[in-house]
Chains A and B, each alone.
Chain A
Amino acid sequence: MGGTAVTVVLVADDDADIRDLVAFKLEQAGLEVVAVEDGQAAVEQARARRPALAVLDVSMPGLSGIDVCRMLRADPATSGMLIIMLTARVQEQDVEGGFSAGADDYVTKPFSPRELVSRIQALLSRARA
């Protein structure tokens, strides 16, 4: 219990450029960002830091974003976390896979950082309400 008013967001992407881009934009928006580069770290950080929201890239080496999502949903400690999936694929099965794993929203690459932040804020404010 940090008791802080700053909302923590977990960003998991194996591409450092995208990770930095998202982290930069979210920090600009006043959120605290925990950035990780693979699924395993994402699960560990999610459990350690209890972020309000996680941005997960679908295709990561080791655990994929969908695997991570499924694991977070299965753990009572993290099951209430908001999750947005980032996918480079538009194939329906990926999107369906993401939703069936329990994601709250998904954004396809290439995405506009502005749009991603506004969707994250929308999800957060809806969760607070």
Chain B
Amino acid sequence: MRRDRSVGRLLTRAFGVLVGLIVLSGAAETTALIMQHRVVEELSTRVQPLELANSDLHSVLADAQRSLRGYLLTGDGQLLDTYYIAHSDYGLTSGKLRELARGEDDAAVGRQLRHADAWWTLAERQREAPPRSDAAAGYVSEGKELFQQFAAENGQFADALAARGSDLQERSSRLSVVTTAVVIVLTGLAALTAALAAAHIAGRITRPLARVVSVIDRRRSGELQLLADADAGPTEIRAVAQAVNEMAAKGDQIRRAEQDVARLRGEVRQLGYRIRGHLKVEDAVKEAVQGLAEIIGADHVLVRMAPGQTDVPPLASLHDEHVGGVLKELADCGVDWLGHGDVWATDDPSPAGDIHPPEAERRAWAAVGDGPVLTVAVSGGDERLGALTLIRDSGRPGWTAIDIRLVESVAADLGRGVHHARLYEREQHLVARLQELDTAKTDFMSTVSHELRTPLTSIAGYVELLLDAEAGELDPPQRKMLEVIARNTRRLRELIEDMLMLSKIESGTFRTSRAPLDLAVVAEQAMAAIAPAAAKTGVDLCTDVRTPLQLSADAEQLDRVLMNLLSNAVKFTPAGGTVTLAARREGDEVLIAVTDTGIGIPAGEQHSLFARFFRATNAIHRAIPGTGLGLAIVRTIVDNHGGHIEVRSAAGEGTTVTIRLPAQ
């Protein structure tokens, strides 16, 4: 663990090195410049002027020597003028030379000037010698020797100066090369340092930063267990990772809290469903009491029902087993101090309204343990049904706003549940009562029809005896009157039969037991049975049955259907008319049609045909007997067979009843 791996420190160091290299490079350049300047100054202010002055001195002396020698050899005075000029120049030139010469040059210049002065001393003596004399000649050779000594010294100095000049120039150029090399090296080092620092920093920042960013991204996409590595990478990145982890921890904490609340909400919702699913008030209350104790974490849960609302006694949670013990006193307290939707909680974070629990209630709470109490009114519909009280043991945390909301939700569900259960219970009572009534009605119908049969048997039997002349011969008016009695007895009997059948249909004891049968046989029997009645009223019968007609049906009921339709048709058809029974297979169905050329059914009344006791107005007007129950029974039988029935009729033209039954 290297604790000092800070990018900032690294950057500072890298910049320090760079600045150092740049300063070094500048210093080298400056030093080189200064040194070169010195060389140039040395050259221009000393060496070159010295060379010039030295050369001038040589020229002056050479001019003086040449003109003096010429004068001495020729006596030309003009040459002597030249000599004089040179002599005066010598003063200037030698002074200048002496002025320029310093230090190391002093000796050389002094030697040269001593030689020059010696020559001049001799020259002054020469000048006074007569020209072209032997003395003069002697002086010339003597002067020549002195001059040569001077010239030698002069040349030697000039050489030394030249050597110094070239030496200086060489040093200057060498310095320049060295400086350039040093600057290049330093610049290269700086570039290298910058590049290395950049690469290193990039490496130290980019990768760890990318890792932190990736952690943030993955957390965002749900990998909540991931944490950023706060022990790797530079200090700054570690700080960022640390901050990310702290934020994540905070976020996790919030999320966990939210999840807890969501879980509680879900459980409370489920509890609500269960409460509302109960059909008994007591079960709904028990469910609420047990569920609340578990979900909300209450040590005691008590549900008190307002008197007069239900006969359910106060119910407490399993912890308390029953309302004896510590809850006894509280269970006996009334809850009328709580209004519709009221909530009262110990240290309620946001108390609503002005609710004052009575002293008795407060004493009862203290008896339970004086812990946090939460009481919520339970209402169903517009009625106050009671109250839900949760108590935690003393020292346990108080009720949070979330607890209160959840308990309110349960109270609302309990209210609805109790309300519905009460409605259901009332409905159950009503249904039971209706069933009793229905059974009584069925029994009554059965009894009545049974009791009617016995006297009817006597009436019909004795009328038959009379008509059979068993009690003596009858005269025609007597016979006619007895026949009226017989006919009406038959009607009464039919009515009783139909009513009994309807009562069976309504009580659900009318059963259809299907078995394979041939419709052609049933149709033939029905036609045979109706034939006497048709013959009596002068109606022609016609059959159009196309076999095979295999069906799965209840033979007795199918016979009843055919008999009903045929007797209707015969009954409503005047003499000379025709009744046709047609039957054939059509696809998956067997079609049965009974057609008559009778009085028909008025269009406005056709829709009522299958209603019980309905009778068409024209039938009533013509005093054609009937109960109005036949078609209702027919329709029930057809429905039981999975078929359907249809009536087409025109008043005065006739009627066709068509039945379609599923073929076998």
Which residues of chain A have a CB within 8 Å of any CB of chain B? 15, 17-18, 21-22, 24-25, 28, 59, 88-91, 109-114
Contacts and interface: CB of A to CB of B under 8 A. Distances in A.
A113 B465 contact: yes
Contacts of B457: 15, 18, 21, 88, 109-111
13 contacts: A15-B454, A15-B458, A17-B462, A24-B465, A88-B454, A90-B500, A91-B446, A110-B456, A110-B489, A111-B457, A111-B460, A112-B460, A112-B461
Contacts of A18: 454, 457-458, 461
A10 B457 CA distance: 19
Given A113-B465, A114-B464, A21 B458 contact: yes
Contacts of B455: 17
B468 A109 contact: no
Interface string B455-477: 11111111011001010000000
Nearest to B459: A110
B493 interface: yes
B453 A88 contact: yes
Given A88-B450, A88-B454, A89-B450, A21 B461 contact: yes
Given A25-B465, A109-B456, 20 more contacts: A15-B454, A15-B458, A18-B454, A18-B458, A22-B461, A88-B454, A88-B457, A90-B497, A91-B446, A110-B456, A110-B457, A110-B461, A110-B489, A110-B493, A111-B460, A111-B461, A112-B464, A113-B461, A113-B465, A114-B464
B648 to A, nearest CB: 33
A86 to B, nearest CB: 8
A59 B462 CA distance: 21
B454 A109 contact: yes
A25 B458 CA distance: 12
Nearest to B468: A114
A31 B493 CA distance: 29
B456 A113 contact: no
Contacts of B453: 88, 109-110
A89 B458 CA distance: 16
Contacts of B446: 89, 91
A21 B462 contact: yes
A89 B460 CA distance: 17
What are the 10 A-B residue pairs with the smallest beta carbon separation, nearest first? A110-B457, A17-B458, A88-B453, A109-B457, A21-B461, A109-B453, A110-B456, A110-B460, A88-B450, A113-B461
Interface string B437-451: 000000000100010
A28 B489 CA distance: 24
Contacts of A113: 461, 464-465
Nearest to A92: B511
Contacts of A114: 464, 468
A25 B461 CA distance: 10
A113 B461 CA distance: 6
A31 B455 CA distance: 25
A91 B400 CA distance: 70
A113 B457 CA distance: 9
Contacts of A22: 461
B448 to A, nearest CB: 11
Q: Which of A17, A18, A109 has the most CB of B within 10 A?
A: A109
A110 B493 CA distance: 8
Contacts of A25: 461, 465, 470
Contacts of B489: 110
A129 B446 CA distance: 41
A121 to B, nearest CB: 16
Contacts of A111: 457, 460-461
A111 B458 CA distance: 9
B357 to A, nearest CB: 66
A125 to B, nearest CB: 21
Q: Which of B453, B456, B461, B465 has the most CB of A within 10 A?
A: B461
Contacts of A15: 454, 457-458
A90 B494 CA distance: 13
A28 B470 CA distance: 8
Nearest to B456: A110
Nearest to A112: B464
Q: Which of B453, B456, B457, B470 has the most CB of A within 10 A?
A: B457
A125 B546 CA distance: 41
Nearest to A93: B509
A114 B456 CA distance: 16
A15 B459 CA distance: 13
Nearest to B493: A110
A38 B401 CA distance: 83
Contacts of B458: 15, 17-18, 21
A24 B468 CA distance: 13
A94 B170 CA distance: 153
Q: Which of B455, B464, B468 has the most CB of A within 10 A?
A: B464
Nearest to B451: A88
A13 to B, nearest CB: 9
B147 to A, nearest CB: 182
Nearest to A19: B458
Nearest to A86: B457
Contacts of B470: 24-25, 28
Contacts of A24: 465, 470
Nearest to A14: B454
B500 A21 contact: no
A96 to B, nearest CB: 13
Contacts of A90: 497, 500
B641 to A, nearest CB: 19
B63 to A, nearest CB: 179
B453 to A, nearest CB: 4
Contacts of B464: 112-114
Nearest to B490: A110
Nearest to A57: B454
A86 B368 CA distance: 77
B156 to A, nearest CB: 169
A90 B497 CA distance: 9
A18 B493 CA distance: 16
A36 to B, nearest CB: 17
